[in-house]
């Protein structure tokens, strides 16, 4: 093997080696894997491109993960990846916390590692200088259960390391201190940690789920790394500020922010002022590390190009008066890079023999490692190759993404070859970018893509549950509008402490018309909701307390809702009468198809799939709506339904509102079905008349199983042999005539509708029994949140955005929604970055031209796509990670959100620029929209936007636009409650009268501010307590409070105990519970299930004397002890009373 030759020559003192004949990433990865196994020294691989480093990192990881299969040996070795910031030099933006976290994790691991690592590093990361090694080493904090630490010192350490104090820890780089609890989310950790102290001693360390805030497991010890690369101890900070003041390199405003401990965008660019010396990656690795240059000719060219970029951006930064230390302070000069490399043992991987400036070393051949030619779905060709390899004594390692795919391939081999022995084939699960053959080792690696054809390269994703759609009182701010069930719309002014019965209680301060006030105690929040009504820019009128106008408004809305509910129930009832096709139950083929899905499904995605399968197996026509934000997995639900339909011999039609979306779905379906004999076609204006005629014929004679198309599918000449399932994507975007045709199809056909418009859960519950809905509300977590900026239109901002994306090998959308000037805009964009490959696309283009441009852009043929909003839905191009939206103020909030969703599909930092004209004066509503979209940049922001603007749109899509006015009148949550009651009444279901007991218990519970210091968290907990329905619901909430905030103080225990008594009283329809001394008086509502006979039985069972004070009021004795005794007696009495009913 060539690696043995390298070892021999190393032992003779040679330092430079050239390896030829490695043509792709897996070949290079296999060579590096073998090299490490033989040499056992640290390896540093430098690439010219970021994507090359990432692909090589993934391939090396694959070989290391399966070394026991490949070599029958196992050694502990960790590959590390050191990503670049993904910013232009001197750009006044800070790197994303995920990127900084990965960099810091790698650097801290390198400090601890000796010889057991492989490091992948793109040249941009190599050139940029980094914090001194000793500073990072001192900044890593390790501790465990039983250790003693001063919490104040930990907080100081965390702030020094760039952590941000937060009320709730949800994102990396945040921490929170609540009494004896410290929550912290290190940037290199999958989950945050909760550290509980007893004094200064660490009592426990628990991982917790950032979505639920609940602990999920205990750990003994942890290591905390800084949250940013600027690690500023007091002396470093003071020295840096002094240097900045001396050089006057920032404005007084920025300097004051730094002095006061505030971060600023692009703060990391100031590093050379704070550190007397900055290190390089070479300072972090041992001198005996071997450096591998991937394609040195390309690499040295990239160094030259990157330094030109550094110098150009430095000049631009000087012109902008931005933070701008001299280039050689922040980046390694070219000559020093060469010296660094010449001082190391160097291996150069070359596809072709090209003279190197570093040496005249004799080239070594890479042992014949070569790429595997794809079989492109030709299974017979694959089998022939297996036979040849068997004769040659090869071991064949078949790489599939899932166990299900492995099982399917085994079955296919058994079916096709009968008694042939394929024991030399080994199945493993994992990801390898491409198959290779290593003749010298008699090894073949084949991926499922090599066998069946290409599929999307997907990265593992970790998901967490999305936010609830219900607004509740979360995020309530002073000035927000609220709705009280009995009093109407008021304005929240904050909270007020009021003394009642010698106890200071916290009240919500609500102002109504004429400055009248309503004070609502915190334990009575059940009847109040945050107002969501007419969308942005609409201010609801305040109601006047004590007048009948609010009651009249509710009655008017109720009447309209009832009329609408009648129509909804008629449609539902009609569908229940008609017989439809009952699809057969799932068999192993369905399970195998499900197993070939490359992600782990989320609970709500699995529920949606289960709902659809159950609907299809009924003998009634399905009409189900699947709701989920951009990228949440709706398409996979549709694909499972399509597979089920085709398996039973039925045809499937997928209807899309745009040609581009149809084309995208066509690619997705082809990828997903690539290993199954299913014929898929797309019918749109991208097709010629001849092609369309062939597709129409195939639909009529049954030759086509699945057709994807626009409204063309609804035209009269389209006939199906046996259509069994219609899938509609974004139905609300079709015209009235198209909707009428769809309405008729619904009567006899299984219909599945997909929408990216968030449908609030409250509306979902209200519509139960009138419309079948499945909601997917779990966002993908393999993405980094999109950085969003609102900026004035200008040359420099556009140029920077385009250059940054091009520098990392990515693509950019430039949205200009005016066809008449789009070509002029494209020419302008081209003038800013002359080497950018620019294309134009808009809805008025000829079909063939549009298709050609789209395919070229998808395949990486263009750097910039200047386009109209035609790209709004469906376009999924992982390499496109920047979008620039011109005249952003002219778009609605929902449209801006959809457009921004076109980027951020990969692990790279994505950017969205919302540009406004220099001349334009923004209207109030436009300013509000842009502020909202800029603020809500985090993952799953669609749910928060729903609360701002999209809930009304979502309701309008399902209920009809005429209902929007009623929602505005009473607020969204109350509207949903009235709708739910109307549906229940029309279905003949009983609507129980709600009785809310008045509780006078001589004990008052509340959440002390020192226990739960954040007002919004207190409001949320009070609200959750108030809506508890069963006594069994109380203990989980009690456990959660102890988990999140520590041991509960007495007032908090009383609050939850009172909640239990309130629930028991509510269930018995008790209007009033009054405790005085050792006497308890209960007053019953007329609808109570408690009768006089029941009370007599209760008296006998409770062994006490029961007095009837009136026909609806009784009195009996309890102990007059402390609150726990009173609580115990009251609870026991209410439970006994319930048991004898």
Domain count, the chain: 7
Residue-range definition of the domain harbouring residue 876: 787-938
Residue 946: what pLDDT? Answer: 47
Residue 280: what pLDDT? Answer: 94
Token code pair at residue 193: 């940690």
Residue 908: what pLDDT? Answer: 78
The per-residue pLDDT for range 1079-1121, each reduced to its tens digit, is: 999 999 988 988 888 887 777 665 567 888 888 899 988 888 8
Residue 418: what pLDDT? Answer: 63
CATH number where 598 lies: 3.40.50.300
Residue 676's nearest CA partner among 720, 631, 708, 706 is 706
In 22-82, DSSP assigns E strands to 43-47, 78-81
Same-domain status, 438 and 359: no
Same-domain status, 153 and 125: no
The per-residue pLDDT for range 289-341, each reduced to its tens digit, is: 999 999 999 999 999 999 999 999 999 888 888 878 899 999 999 999 988 98
Same-domain status, 582 and 725: yes
Distance between CA atoms of 901 and 896, rounded to whole angstroms?
8
The answer to whether residue 540 is domain-embedded is no
Same-domain status, 1083 and 1113: yes
Is there a contact between 343 and 359 (Cβ–Cβ < 8 Å)?
no
CATH number where 320 lies: 3.40.50.11180
The answer to whether residue 441 is domain-embedded is yes
Residue 570: what pLDDT? Answer: 77
Same-domain status, 589 and 687: yes
The answer to whether residue 560 is domain-embedded is no
Same-domain status, 605 and 754: yes
Q: Which are the contacts of 956, defined by CB distance < 8 A and separation ≥ 6? A: 963, 964
Is there a contact between 659 and 626 (Cβ–Cβ < 8 Å)?
no
Token code pair at residue 96: 């994303």
CATH number where 411 lies: 3.40.50
CB 376: neighbour CB atoms within 10 A?
A: 14
| Long-range CB contacts for residues 1104-1109, cutoff 8 Å, separation at least 24 | 1109/1081
- φ/ψ of residue 809, rounded to 5: 80, 20
Same-domain status, 1015 and 1120: yes
Domain boundary among 365, 381, 406: 365
Same-domain status, 479 and 331: no
DSSP string of 198-230, one letter each residue: ETTEEEEEEEE-TTT--EEEEESEEEE--SSS-
CATH number where 1134 lies: 3.90.1150.50
Burial class, 577, CB count within 10 angstroms (exposed 0-12 / middle 13-18 / buried 19+): exposed
Same-domain status, 392 and 509: no
Is there a contact between 445 and 399 (Cβ–Cβ < 8 Å)?
yes
The answer to whether residue 1009 is domain-embedded is yes
Per-residue three-class SS string for 492-537:
EEEEEEEEECCEEEEEEEEECHHHCEEEEEHHHHHHEEECCCCCCC
The answer to whether residue 893 is domain-embedded is yes
Same-domain status, 67 and 82: yes
Same-domain status, 324 and 185: no
The answer to whether residue 243 is domain-embedded is no
Q: What share of the chain is helix, strand, coil (3-state, %, to 5)?
A: 45, 20, 35
Domain boundary among 406, 421, 452: 452
Same-domain status, 924 and 808: yes
CATH number where 148 lies: 3.30.2060.10
The answer to whether residue 240 is domain-embedded is no
DSSP string of 437-500, one letter each residue: EEGGGTEEEEEHHHHH----------------S--TTTT--TT-EEEETTTEEEEEEEEEEEEE
Residue 727: what pLDDT? Answer: 95
Q: What does the chain come to in residues?
A: 1141
The answer to whether residue 950 is domain-embedded is no
Domain boundary among 337, 365, 393: 365
Is there a contact between 832 and 802 (Cβ–Cβ < 8 Å)?
yes
For the sheet containing 370-371, what is the strand order? Answer: 370-371, 436-438, 443-447, 395-400, 425-429
Distance between CA atoms of 885 and 891, rounded to whole angstroms?
9
Q: Which residues of the chain have pLDDT under 70?
A: 1, 74, 114-115, 352-363, 366-367, 417-419, 454-472, 474, 533-538, 736, 739, 757-771, 779-784, 873-875, 894, 905-907, 918-926, 928-929, 931-964, 1100-1104
CB 464: neighbour CB atoms within 10 A?
A: 17
Residue 656's nearest CA partner among 725, 598, 710, 584 is 710
Q: What's the predicted TM-score (pTM) here?
A: 0.76
């Amino acid at each position: 093997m060539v690696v043995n030759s390298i070892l021999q020559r190393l032992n003779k003192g040679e330092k430079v080696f050239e390896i030829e004949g490695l043509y792709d990433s897996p070949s290079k990865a296999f060579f590096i894997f073998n090299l490490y196994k033989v040499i056992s020294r640290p390896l540093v691989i430098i690439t010219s491109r970021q994507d090359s480093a990432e692909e090589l990192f993934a391939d090396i990881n694959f070989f290391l993960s399966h070394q026991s299969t490949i070599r029958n040996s196992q050694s502990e070795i960790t590959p590390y990846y050191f990503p670049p910031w993904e910013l232009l030099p001197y750009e006044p933006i800070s790197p994303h916390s995920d990127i900084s976290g990965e960099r810091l994790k790698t650097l801290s691991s390198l400090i601890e590692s000796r010889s057991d690592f492989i490091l992948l590093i793109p040249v941009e990361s190599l050139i940029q200088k980094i914090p001194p090694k000793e500073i990072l080493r001192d900044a890593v904090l390790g501790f465990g259960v039983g250790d003693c630490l001063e919490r104040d010192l930990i907080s100081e350490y965390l702030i020094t390391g760039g952590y941000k104090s937060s009320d709730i820890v949800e994102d990396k780089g945040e921490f929170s201190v609540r009494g004896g609890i410290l929550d912290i989310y290190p940037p290199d950790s999958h989950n945050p940690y909760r550290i509980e102290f007893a004094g200064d001693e660490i009592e426990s360390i628990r991982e917790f789920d950032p979505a639920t805030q609940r602990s999920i497991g205990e750990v003994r010890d942890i290591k905390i790394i800084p949250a940013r690369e600027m690690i500023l101890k007091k002396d470093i900070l003071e020295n840096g500020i002094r240097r900045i003041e001396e050089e006057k390199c920032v404005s007084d405003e920025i300097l004051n922010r730094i002095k006061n401990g505030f971060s600023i965008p692009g703060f990391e660019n100031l590093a050379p002022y704070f550190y007397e010396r900055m290190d390089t990656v070479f300072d972090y690795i041992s001198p005996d590390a071997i450096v591998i240059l991937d394609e040195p000719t390309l690499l040295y060219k990239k160094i030259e190009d990157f330094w030109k970029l550094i110098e150009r951006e430095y000049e631009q930064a000087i012109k902008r008066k931005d933070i701008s230390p001299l280039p050689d302070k922040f980046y390694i000069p070219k000559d020093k890079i060469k010296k660094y490399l010449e001082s190391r043992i160097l291996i150069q991987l070359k596809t072709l023999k090209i003279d190197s400036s570093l040496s005249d070393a004799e080239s070594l051949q890479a042992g014949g490692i070569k790429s595997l030619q794809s079989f492109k779905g030709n299974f017979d060709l694959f089998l022939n190759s297996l036979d040849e390899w068997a004769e040659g004594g090869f071991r064949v390692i078949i790489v599939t993404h899932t166990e299900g795919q492995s099982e399917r391939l085994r079955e296919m081999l058994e079916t096709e070859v009968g008694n042939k022995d394929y024991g030399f084939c080994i199945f493993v699960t994992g990801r390898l970018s491409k198959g290779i053959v290593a003749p010298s080792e008699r090894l073949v690696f084949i991926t499922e893509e090599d066998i069946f054809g290409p599929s999307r390269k997907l990265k593992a994703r970790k998901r967490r549950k999305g936010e609830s759609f219900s607004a509740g009182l979360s995020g309530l701010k002073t000035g927000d509008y609220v709705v009280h069930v009995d009093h109407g719309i008021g304005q929240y002014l904050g909270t007020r402490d009021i003394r009642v019965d010698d106890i200071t209680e916290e009240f919500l301060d609500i102002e109504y018309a004429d400055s009248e006030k309503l004070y609502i105690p915190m334990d009575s929040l059940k009847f109040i909701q945050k107002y969501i009504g007419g969308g942005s820019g609409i201010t609801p009128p305040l109601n006047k307390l004590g007048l009948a106008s609010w009651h009249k408004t509710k009655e008017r809305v109720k009447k309209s809702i009832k009329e609408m509910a009648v129509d909804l129930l008629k449609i539902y009832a009609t569908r229940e009468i008609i017989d439809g096709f009952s699809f057969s139950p799932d068999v192993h083929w369905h399970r195998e198809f499900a197993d070939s899905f490359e992600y782990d499904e989320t609970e709500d995605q699995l529920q949606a799939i289960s709902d659809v399968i159950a609907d299809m197996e009924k003998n009634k026509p399905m009409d189900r709506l699947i709701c989920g934000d951009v990228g949440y997995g709706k398409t996979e639900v549709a694909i499972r339904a399509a597979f089920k339909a085709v398996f039973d011999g039925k045809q499937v039609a997928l209807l899309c509102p745009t040609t581009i979306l149809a084309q995208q779905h066509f690619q997705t379906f082809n990828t997903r079905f690539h290993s199954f004999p299913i014929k898929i076609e797309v019918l749109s204006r991208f097709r010629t008349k001849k092609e369309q005629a062939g597709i129409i014929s195939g639909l009529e004679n049954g030759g086509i199983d699945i057709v994807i198309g626009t409204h063309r599918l609804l035209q009269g000449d389209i006939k199906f042999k046996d259509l069994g399932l219609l899938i509609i994507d974004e139905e609300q975007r079709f015209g009235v005539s198209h909707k009428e045709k769809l309405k008729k199809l619904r009567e006899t056909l299984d219909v599945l509708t997909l929408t990216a418009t968030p449908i609030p859960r409250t509306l979902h519950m209200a519509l139960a029994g009138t419309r079948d809905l499945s909601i997917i509300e779990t966002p993908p977590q393999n993405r980094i949140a999109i950085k969003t900026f609102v900026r004035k239109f200008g040359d420099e901002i556009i140029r920077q955005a385009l250059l940054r994306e091009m520098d990392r090998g990515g693509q950019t959308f430039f949205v200009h929604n005016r066809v008449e000037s789009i070509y002029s805009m494209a020419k302008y964009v081209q003038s800013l970055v002359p080497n950018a490959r620019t294309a134009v696309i808009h809805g008025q283009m000829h079909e063939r031209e549009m298709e050609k441009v789209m395919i070229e852009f998808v395949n990486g043929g263009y750097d910039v796509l200047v386009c109209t909003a035609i790209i709004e839905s469906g376009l999924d191009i992982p390499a496109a990670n920047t979008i620039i939206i011109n005249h952003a103020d002219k778009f609605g909030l929902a449209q801006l959100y959809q457009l921004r969703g076109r980027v951020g599909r990969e692990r790279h930092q994505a950017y969205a620029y919302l540009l406004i004209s220099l001349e334009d004066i923004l209207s109030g509503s436009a300013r509000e929209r842009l502020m909202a979209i800029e603020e809500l940049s985090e993952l799953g922001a669609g749910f928060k936007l729903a609360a701002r603007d999209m809930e009304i749109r979502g309701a309008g899509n399902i209920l009809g636009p005429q209902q929007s006015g009623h929602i505005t009148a009473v607020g969204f949550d109350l509207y949903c409650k009235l709708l739910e009651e109307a549906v229940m009444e029309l279905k003949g279901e009983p609507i129980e009268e709600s009785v809310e007991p008045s509780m006078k218990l001589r004990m008052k519970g509340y959440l002390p501010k020192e226990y739960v210091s954040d007002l919004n968290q207190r409001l949320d907990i009070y609200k959750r307590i108030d809506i508890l329905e069963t006594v069994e619901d109380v203990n989980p909430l009690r456990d959660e409070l102890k988990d999140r905030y520590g041991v509960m103080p007495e007032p908090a225990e009383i609050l939850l105990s009172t909640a239990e008594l309130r629930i028991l009283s509510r269930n018995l329809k008790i209007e009033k519970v009054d405790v005085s001394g050792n006497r308890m008086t209960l007053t019953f509502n007329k609808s109570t299930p408690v009768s006089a006979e029941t009370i007599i039985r209760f008296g006998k069972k409770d062994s006490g004397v029961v007095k009837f004070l009136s026909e609806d009021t009784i009195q009996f004795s309890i102990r007059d002890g402390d609150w726990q005794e009173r609580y115990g007696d009251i609870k026991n009495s209410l439970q006994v009373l319930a048991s004898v009913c």
